[in-house]
Amino acid sequence: MLRQEISQGLTAALKAQDKRRTSTLRLIMAAIKDRDIANRAAGKDAVGDEELLGILGKMVKQREESARIYEENNRLELAENEREEIRIISEFLPKQMSDDEVKAACEQVIAETDAQGLRDMGKCMAALKERYAGQMDFSKANGVIKSLLQ
């Protein structure tokens, strides 16, 4: 379903002659096709929505890092290009959870899994990744879980 939305977005961008949007959506489609090929070689199914959210999240993180490096090197026009790509990619991601929502979700998972200490951290993180793929920054959640379990 998400793949179809991206494809329709690409068609609309081509018709509107929006060069930035077209190139960004083509990059997304290429990343999806690469993952499909890798999955096929490994005997897996084509990329599903959950895996697609992971791909998009990774693309956003890559662009954030690039934009930061460009800004540090005073290449503001390149940083702005990266930020524009982030905005386009983010349109296909679910709304990100706030810090308070992340903390509440972490507390809920700890209670549900009956986690007692740091040794149960993997169980908690697995539950969070299963429920909140694409909605949560798991590096933040990792820190929250660690502080709550100590």
CATH number at residue 130: 1.10.10.410
Neighbours of 133 (CB within 10 A): 17
**Are both 77 and 131 inside the same structural domain?**
no
**Are both 16 and 51 inside the same structural domain?**
yes
Pick from 31-35, 61-65, 82-86, 140-144: least confident: 140-144
The string over 29-61, giving b where at least 16 C-beta atoms fall within 10 Å of a residue's C-beta and e elsewhere, is eebbeebbeeeeeeeeeebeeebbbebbbebbe
Q: Of 52, 69, 90, which residue sits at a domain end? A: 90
Q: How much is the pLDDT for 138?
A: 82
Q: How far apart are CA 98 and CA 101, in angstroms?
A: 5
CATH number at residue 16: 1.10.1510.10
pTM greater than the 0.75 cutoff: no
Residue 80: domain span: 2-90
**Are both 62 and 111 inside the same structural domain?**
no
pLDDT in tens, 109-135: 888 888 888 888 888 888 888 888 778
Q: Work out how many domains the chain is built from and give that number.
A: 2
Q: Of 55, 90, 125, which residue sits at a domain end? A: 90
**Are both 11 and 75 inside the same structural domain?**
yes
pLDDT in tens, 54-83: 889 889 989 999 999 999 999 999 999 999
